[in-house]
Amino acid sequence: MNSNYKVIKFRSNNSKEVNDQISIEEPLEIILKYKDKENWIENTISITMRTPGDDEDLVTGFLFNERVIEKISHIENIASSGEPVGQYKLQNKIIVTINNSENIDIDKIKRNFLTNSSCGVCGKTSLESLEIIKKDKIIKSIPKISHEIIMKSPNLLRQNQSEFSKTGGIHASGLFNADGGIVSVKEDVGRHNALDKLIGYILRRKLLDNSSQFLTCSGRLNFDLVQKALMANIGVLIGVGAPTSLAVDLANKFDMTLVGFVKEDSFNIYSNNERIIIKN
């Protein structure tokens, strides 16, 4: 989703006013609705800045990745709420009704979120934070991905982005099959939101096959992207940029394969190279 803005473009010592397409960024308030004994309770658990669209996939992926829910069947209903507001007349609230209310501890949920909308894993100083909710490691033997497919995936991701070519200001995450086929691509101004949207989408439609699929993301690879991929037990995470130290440490700890700086003829493997098939 984008909008036209007037900008001044400077080129070769000349400037002119033109219309330019800018990616829209709007807040989304996520409200959890659950039953406490006989009473229905509504609590705001997060406000994230996102590209409007695919909001149901976004909140599904977010709640699953943060382990507010363990199965998407725990979501009874998702509904936009409130009057359309702002320049674009959007409903920027979404209410998620949960049917496993006996497991809801709202104070714990607010206190233990691994990510937030702006800076990822704020205040987290060790990997033990994730071990509380994830005990198992990724199976090391799957999937197997050839080096040719890895080097092709960023261009395929870019070609299947509808918004990047218009604005240049949006991230994407794509789920690929081992043969390079695209399962789905999702975009957002926030890289973590793009991955939440993607994981929410594939879980709701039962498209995930951990034995033969991998993720490719635009930009750098940080802790929260690795965390979200781990929640879905995806064994290979690829990025066009550099990983952070904590992303590499986390990938190593849970046996994920992390590949960065992917170009048409090169890439770096930062952890668990067994899944990458290199043909000389």
Ranges of each domain in the chain: 26-124, 145-277
For the stretch 203-253, pLDDT in tens is 999 999 999 999 999 989 998 899 999 999 999 999 999 999 889 999 999
**Which residue matches tokens 């490691």?**
137
E strand spans, 109-161: 145-146
Element (H, E) at 15: strand 14-23
The size of the chain, in residues, is: 280
Provide φ and ψ at 155, rounded to 5°.
-65, -40
Sign of CA dihedral 74, 78, 81, 87: positive
Which residues, including other chains, have CB under 8 Å from residue 108's CB and lie 6 or more apart?
Answer: none
**How would CATH label the architecture of 145-277?**
3-Layer(aba) Sandwich (3.40)
Residue 213 Cα to chain centre, angstroms: 16
CB 27 within 8 A of CB 47: yes
Residue-level pLDDT at 125: 39
Q: What is the CATH number of domain 26-124?
A: 3.10.20.10
Number of H helices, E strands in the chain: 8, 14
CB 28 within 8 A of CB 92: yes
Q: What is the DSSP letter of 121?
A: S
Sign of CA dihedral 185, 191, 193, 196: positive
Mean pLDDT of 186-211: 95
Structure tokens at 72: 């998407």
- State yes or no: is 217 an active-site residue: no
User: For the chain, first and last CA: distance in Å?
Assistant: 43
Q: pLDDT at residue 187 above 80?
A: yes
Q: Assign 112 a pLDDT band (cuts: 50, 70, 90).
A: low
Residue-level pLDDT at 163: 66
> Distance (Å, rounded) from C-alpha 180 to C-alpha 148?
9
> Distance (Å, rounded) from C-alpha 240 to C-alpha 171?
11
Active-site choice (85, 119, 132, 207):
119
